[in-house]
Chain A
Amino acid sequence: MTTAPLDLNLRRYMRPLGGGTHLTVWVALALLILLGYLRYDNFLSAYNISSFLGYNSMFVLISVGMCLVIMTGGIDLSVGAVAALASVTAALLSPLGLLVALPAGMLTGLVAGAINAGLIVGLRLPPFMATLATMLAARGTSLVVSDRQAVSVDWSSDFTALGMNKIASILPWTIVVAILVVVVAWYILEKTSLGRTVLAVGGNAEAAHLMGLKTSRALIFVYLFSGACAGLAGVFLASGYGAGQPLEGQGWELAAIAAVVVGGTLLTGGMGSVPATVAGALLFGLVFNLLNFENGLGVISLSAYWQSVIRGAFLLVVILLQVRLARPAAAKA
């Protein structure tokens, strides 16, 4: 064991960042950025940074929602389909302007989240089954509503401003909004009794119940939050690409789960870190980004399919590293 005086402050301030086992992802992220900076000329160009952040703001959002769900020991498979449905909803309402279309997209996500919460808390269905059903229903609904076509947004309204405008022509509005959501999630988790309850439910549901904690409320909250995040990601999608995309978002739920896991959050619940999850989401985005640069050098040419393989390998490596790091602690417990 480490000695007390030094340990004291470290532990207190490390945990919000993700603490010990979450550290891997930060190191990996830093190494990849360093690699990109050294190897590719335009890697840190304003254009690359801004398009990288714009695209990945959607993944940051759904990963953070997923992170809270996983902390309770649950899972939300519906996020990708819900994002697609929300993108269609927002695109259809885009003539009424951003101030209508954005809340409408989020509301779509909230409704999906409420259905998930109802199935899981009310009917006591396993989260995997409940959110799988919602995923299928949301995907079907988005195809019906859009008539299987991409739904073009109203370009004359202010709707596309959110997805396309940038602050100082480098910082996309979407990433700003996503960061706001991240801060809210982090604050709730670290500072409120609701956040404690979320962790307690995931760590030991029986004990949490015995202490009289409002466990149902915590579960309802995380599914609503995840739904809202997915809805918002759908709005970003429609606003950034000029169309509601009923077929987008396939596999997003798995990308989000991967980001959460790489961030060091256990699938069994009870612990985890919002910032480390964000790092995990960015890490995966960066792998894609670097491969594009590598292709650009002309030495190799990897198709998108290969990129997916490499992402999978990367996930395994990071997980293995974490297991190695976590094992001594686990053995003690």
Chain B
Amino acid sequence: MTEPLLQMTGIQKAFAGIPALREASLRILPGEVHALVGQNGAGKSTLIKILTGVYRRDAGEVLWQGRPVDLRSPRDAQGVGIATIYQELTLVPQRTVTENIVLGYEPRTRWGAIDWRAADARAREVLSRFGIELDLHRALGSYPTAIQQLVAIGRAASMEAKLLIMDEPTSSLDEREVETLFGVMRALKARGTSILYVSHFLDELFAVCDGVTIMRDGRTVGETRIADTSKLDLIAGMLGRDPDEIRAAGRTQLSTDQTHAGPVFLEAKGLSSDRRLRRLDLEVRAGEIVGLAGLLGSGRTESARAIFGMDKVTGGTLRVGGRDVRLSSPRDAIDAGIAFLTEDRKVEGIIPDLSVRENLTLALLPRLSKMGIVDEARERQIVQGFIKALGIRTADMDQPIRELSGGNQQKVLLGRWLALEPKLLILDEPTRGVDVGAKLEIQSIIAKHVEQGCAVLLISSEFEELIEGAHNIVVLQEGRSVRKLNNPGVTEASLIHAIAEPPDTPHVEAAE
């Protein structure tokens, strides 16, 4: 057996006492494309950052070509031959293709000036290895993302990297571009370069990878040749379930629809948007929780954004409360009785320096103020009510929200939308990054509002949350709704099956 290029064993890392990696390992052979898979929070990116010198490990061993190494900075990692292609490109879009490829390593003339002729020659050579021809003197930014990504890879390859790390390289590429990328990866492999490949698109792994490492909860839970595994096995490993059980669940016919709910509040037919939503059919009734399930990139969040007026709707119809509507801004959606608790608290949710009170009432302000003046007494009364009802743990309502824990911030944001008394509440990963106690509290708050007639559209990567919470579940694949499962009767296995299996028909009408 050949000596591995890289062997990481027993890697541990904690942030502020909270372990991110407990027992992670990774082994990459020379000249192989190795996949690293796991759910969000499994520890993939932490492990990669340790490998690239961004973080220091707390414990464990890293062997590089058989010798122990200690990579203290990204520069150390580059020094031994580890190059990283990040999700967000880190090249200089305003400069030319050549400049980007040789940046920092420019060939010099005898007089110390940059030898542009040699630089062009090197750039041309690097790109031709992958069978790409570009105008070397055009600004890199004028090329599509896919090409920019290939240039970044070319740059890394020209630096004689032994290991190339690619983090979600295909998330912004179309199918043809993905093929080109795979061609480049195979060419690199043929030259003996190893590639560590991180992707949420499991199908891709089978097309291009040799080996795969599965992580879960900060641990490496499996390592295998890709030929010896299946997509179902991978998903089972990522989730920590028994693959046989999932397989057995196969094609259980699910129970028929029941009428636990009120009239249809939201109805989307063939809805598409300018952001990767291709065809959404969906129906949410008052007093009902509809789950949206699918892998990352399947269009769950995009569905919510289109409904909430954040993305431009390019086709299909949307009916709210029985009327055809066109929601072109969040304001419109809010006026129509829709609320949207977004996935990313930091970016789209909290206003960090404002207090708990101010954060909670922001969306409610128009109703709280007379002639533009906020009725502070009423505001305090409302906020006090929500702090109590939602069990928000805060020193007092005037504490800046950034000082609260993630779970409590989330409760404030939930309160912000509940205060509007919405008819439809869209929840995107409402319990992510929230501790178990707060999670249960949040779920029971949601359940209570549903009982009172609120319609809920629940997006979650946690199957348990969907299965236990949702009355029915719409499954998305590649921006299309492909299946609808009705509860009770959905099991984790059948849900995973529905997510993983290719659609049997182009799409399934959500409406019966």
Contacts and interface: CB of A to CB of B under 8 A. Distances in A.
Interface of A: 1-2, 4, 7-8, 11-12, 15, 191-194, 196-197, 199-200, 203-204, 206-214, 270-271, 329, 332-333
Contact of A203 (B329, B334, B353, B368): B353
A194 B110 CA distance: 64
Interface string B479-503: 0000000000000000000000000
A207 B350 contact: yes
A3 B343 CA distance: 32
Given A192-B374, A211-B330, A332-B403, A204 B395 contact: no
Given A206-B348, A212-B331, A213-B365, A4 B396 contact: yes
Given A193-B366, A193-B374, A204 B351 contact: yes
Given A209-B330, A212-B334, A270 B372 contact: no
A199 B402 CA distance: 15
Contacts of A211: 330, 334, 362-363, 416
Contact of B372 (A193, A204, A206, A207): A193
Interface in B341-384: 342, 347-355, 358, 361-363, 365-366, 368-369, 372-374, 376
B442 to A, nearest CB: 19
A80 B459 CA distance: 52
B352 A270 contact: yes
Contacts of B398: 8, 11-12, 15
12 contacts: A11-B395, A191-B374, A192-B369, A193-B368, A193-B369, A193-B373, A194-B372, A196-B358, A196-B362, A199-B351, A206-B347, A332-B402
Contacts of A332: 402-403
Given A8-B396, A193-B374, A199-B353, A210 B369 contact: no
Contact of B330 (A12, A199, A212): A212
B42 to A, nearest CB: 26
Contacts of B399: 7, 11
B340 interface: yes
Contacts of A12: 396, 398
B340 A208 contact: no
Contact of A4 (B334, B362, B363, B395): B395
Given A192-B369, A332-B403, A208 B362 contact: yes
B178 interface: no
Interface string B221-249: 00000000000000000000000000000
Contact of B395 (A2, A199, A212): A2
Contacts of B402: 332-333
Contacts, number: 102
B310 interface: yes
A7 B399 CA distance: 9
A210 B310 contact: yes
Contacts of B368: 193
Q: 8 closest A-B pairs (Cβ-Cβ)? A: A203-B351, A271-B353, A193-B365, A212-B331, A211-B363, A212-B334, A333-B402, A8-B396
Contacts of B366: 193
A301 to B, nearest CB: 45
A207 B396 contact: no
Given A7-B399, A210-B310, 14 more contacts: A2-B395, A11-B398, A191-B376, A192-B374, A194-B372, A196-B358, A197-B365, A199-B351, A199-B354, A204-B348, A204-B349, A207-B347, A213-B363, A270-B352
Given A196-B374, A200-B351, A206-B348, A212 B363 contact: yes
B363 A204 contact: no
Contact of B353 (A11, A191, A210, A270): A270
Contact of A333 (B310, B352, B395): B352
Given A206-B347, A206-B348, A192 B373 contact: yes
A323 to B, nearest CB: 16
Contacts of A11: 395-396, 398-399
A271 B398 CA distance: 14
A206 B346 CA distance: 10
A91 to B, nearest CB: 35
Contacts of B308: 210
A204 B350 contact: yes
A270 B330 contact: no
Nearest to A272: B353
B337 to A, nearest CB: 12
A161 to B, nearest CB: 33
A158 B340 CA distance: 58
A192 B362 CA distance: 11
A245 to B, nearest CB: 36
Contacts of A214: 331
Contacts of B354: 196, 199-200, 203, 270-271
A41 to B, nearest CB: 44
A127 to B, nearest CB: 19
A212 B354 CA distance: 17
Given A7-B396, A199-B354, A191 B373 contact: yes
A15 B353 CA distance: 11
B365 A1 contact: no
A68 B65 CA distance: 59
A207 B348 contact: yes
Nearest to A199: B354
Contacts of B361: 196
A201 to B, nearest CB: 9
Contacts of B365: 193, 196-197, 213
A8 B373 CA distance: 24
A210 B342 contact: yes
A15 B374 CA distance: 17
Contacts of A207: 347-351
A200 B374 CA distance: 15
Contact of A270 (B342, B351, B363, B416): B351
Nearest to A270: B353
Contacts of B355: 15
A193 B364 CA distance: 10
Contacts of A196: 354, 358, 361-362, 365, 374
Interface string B185-203: 0000000000000000000
A207 B342 CA distance: 9
Most B CB within 10 A of own CB, among A11, A212, A332, A333? A212
B249 to A, nearest CB: 38
A137 to B, nearest CB: 29
Contacts of B373: 191-193
A194 B329 CA distance: 20
Contacts of B416: 211
B396 A208 contact: no
